[in-house]
Chains A and B, each alone.
Chain A
Amino acid sequence: MPTPRPRRSPAWTPARLGVYGFLIVAALFFLLPLYVMLVTSVKPMEEIRLGTLFALPQHLTLEPWVQAWSSACTGLECGGIRSGFWNSVAIVVPSTILSIAIGAVNGYALSFWRPRGAGLLFAILMMGAFIPVQVMIYPLVRVLASVNLFSSLPGIIIIHTIFGMPVMTLLFRNYYAALPMELFKAARIDGGGFWRIFLQLMLPMSTPVIVVAVIMQVTGIWNDFLLGLVFAGSEHLPMTVQLNNIINTTTGERLYNVNMAATILTSIVPLALYFISGRWFVRGIASGAVKG
């Protein structure tokens, strides 16, 4: 039986101070970029030109945020990053739903039904998680082009579903494997079929794992750059790609304040998810890590 660690109130020994010293310095290092980003995004350009990176703004302005959102130039167009935001939403929502739905069905079939050959498919799928995407990108471009889905919203959604499948399948398989087999057998005796057992019994029990899956997929797909760059097409470029365009293709003076506001805007969704979900996010990482 695990006993709780003895609660001694630790004295302020030099070792203790050292522990806090290390942690405080480390915390400052980790917070520094966030601080710089925030301060830069509310400074007018005149203050930025002074080269006082860490200074607080003298004249606070929200203008950079407005520009980043609605008028910064992402390449040739100057409509701000807002279209990218909505593109990302349009990509993330269906991709997340589809990849979770397929992962759940896969995991369920693998754990309870075990159709012949499925074990082998799953083993290859797991290896697929380690294949560098560069190996697959060009052939996939050609396959999608041949069915007229390249550079389209459905195209990028299919791509995210394909690349999300290993981890999603593993996640649900592990979850269902921990459920008692008797439950499934009882449902079989009651005459439940493949889909009925899934929809009425397994799915309602899957809320915790679905939460983890949603966090993993929303974060992962929102933060994707490479796949969006190749497969989404200019009409549907996700926010990450537009952000990179804003910052790396501008001509003339670089508007660092606008750039930083755009960077924060792009990071808001995954950061909010992280701050709200906390422990679930960590659990998601740990489950994703199992794929090793």
Chain B
Amino acid sequence: MTQKRQSVSFAAYIAMVPMALTVLLAYLGTMLWTARVSVSSSRTFPASDFVGASQYIRLFNNERWLLSLQNVALYGVLFIAACLVIGFLLAVFIDQKVMAEGALRTIFLYPYAMSFVATGLIWQWILNPELGIQEVLHKLGWTSAKFDWIVDQDMAIYTIVIATVWQASGLVMALMLSGLRGVDDEIWKAARIDGIPRWRVYTSIVLPMLKPSVSTAFVLLFVMVVKVFDAVVAMTQGGPGTASEVPAKFIMDYLFGRANIGLASAASIVLLLTVLAIVAPLYFVRNRRAAMGA
């Protein structure tokens, strides 16, 4: 019996080898390696010296990096807020026992099935100042209409917001809708008897009940913000100039284009710490709530 038990658990250990390798090498190993390189003088090749925080100091003196942080912060706030608001509204309106509910859900969610590259390219075409919406408005007789954000230094980042909100707000709708469907009908009955208007019920009672859906959506959207790269490359290539530069793209450029892996590593560690600082508390709160609920 003991003999058999041992051989069986051996198989379980063997089965865990891919996961162990992934965790140790691909996740922990690469993190340590990158952290190590970020305090070396590495340029084209990794060096093994120690230069303290000087890569970090260079990084935060790098205007392009500061711009990319500023952009991603602005982008992140707008993108997350717009997706949450639009997604919530779509879910609430769909939840009014409307006709063709299935078709509407399909329409709102299909962009999410497409890649960020495809999404970026479609919007690049629609927003093209010579042949896109601006030109259509001119043709309609509104010759002073100006909608050239995509080539405007100050506005380019907003076009990325438009395209990615179009892509991702259906996802929020799907999450919120499943949350709304979980709301007890008794609440609606009670509210009707008390004569409380529907919008009040939504804002004061239902929305607080949707907290789990909202926090899930927030985490997903936040991860997308940190990752934002494909859409920028497809739409503006970080331009005009460096006007729509984002951290993920900055790092890729310095790793592979400008051969400055020390600086790029420092930047990725900064990104990592930011993510952990925001996601870890949420994760912790949720696990605690789950543990208390159990």
Contact = CB atoms under 8 A, between A and B. Distances in A.
B93 A19 contact: yes
A240 B107 contact: no
B266 to A, nearest CB: 11
Contacts of A256: 125, 131
Nearest to A106: B19
Contact of A225 (B89, B116, B218): B116
B125 A36 contact: yes
A139 B30 contact: yes
A51 interface: yes
Interface in A127-156: 127-128, 130-140, 142-143
B117 interface: yes
Interface residues of B, number: 102
B107 A30 contact: yes
Nearest to A222: B115
B99 to A, nearest CB: 8
Contacts of B97: 5, 10
Interface in B175-208: 175, 178, 185, 188
A289 interface: yes
Given A22-B89, A282-B109, A223 B139 contact: no
Contacts of A286: 174-175, 178
Contacts of A27: 104, 107-108
Interface stretch (B6-14, B48-56, B75-83, B152-160): B6-14
A162 B24 CA distance: 11
Pick from B94, B123, B252 the residue with the most CB of A within 10 Å: B252
A263 interface: yes
A142 B233 CA distance: 24
A267 B114 contact: yes
Contacts of B111: 30, 33
Interface stretch (A62-70, A178-186, A200-208, A270-278): A270-278
Given A259-B121, A290-B216, A292-B215, A285 B276 contact: no
A219 to B, nearest CB: 6
B210 interface: no
A135 B268 contact: yes
B230 interface: yes
Nearest to B256: A230
Interface string A191-222: 00111000000000000000000000001001
Nearest to B255: A138
A187 B122 CA distance: 54
A86 interface: no
Contacts of A165: 18-19, 22
Contact of B25 (A105, A143, A266): A143
A132 B93 contact: no
A197 B268 CA distance: 43
Contact of B122 (A3, A37, A137, A195): A37
A157 B245 CA distance: 30
Interface of A: 2-3, 5, 10, 19-20, 22-23, 26-27, 29-34, 36-37, 40, 48-49, 51-54, 102, 105-106, 108-109, 113, 115, 117-118, 121-122, 124-125, 127-128, 130-140, 142-143, 161-162, 165, 169, 193-195, 219, 222-226, 230, 240, 243-244, 247-248, 256, 259-260, 263, 266-267, 270-271, 273-275, 278, 281-282, 285-286, 289-290, 292
